[in-house]
């Protein structure tokens, strides 16, 4: 895999991650999902051997979703 391929893959993964966060936040705002419960589920996902990066990514997504919630609450939204 060369640099261009890596950058393409990284960009696509970042885009999908951001889309998931936006969808989760929108559903949480509408009261259709329990955002804190989703964050906790992401945090408690068991890392599978060979998929440690996926586990770290879920931790980062949980942190981002919680951060967005905190920011909304601070803004009174």
Flag whether pLDDT at 2 surpasses 90. Answer: no
What's residue 15's pLDDT?
96
Residue 77 has pLDDT above 70, yes or no: no
- Residue 48 has a pLDDT of 80
d(CA 35, CA 12) in angstroms, rounded, equals 24
Q: What is the pLDDT of residue 49?
A: 87
What would the pLDDT profile of 33-65 be if each residue is shown by its tens digit? 999 999 999 999 877 888 888 989 999 999 999
Mean pLDDT, the chain, whole residue set: 93
Please give the pLDDT value at position 10. Answer: 93
């Amino acid at each position: 895999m060369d640099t261009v391929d890596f950058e393409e893959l990284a960009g696509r993964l970042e885009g999908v991650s951001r889309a998931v966060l936006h969808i989760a936040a929108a559903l949480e705002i509408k009261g259709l999902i329990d955002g804190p419960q989703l964050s906790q589920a992401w945090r408690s996902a068991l890392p599978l051997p060979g998929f440690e990066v996926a586990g770290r990514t879920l931790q980062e997504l949980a942190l981002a979703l919680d951060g967005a919630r905190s920011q909304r609450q601070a803004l009174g939204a």
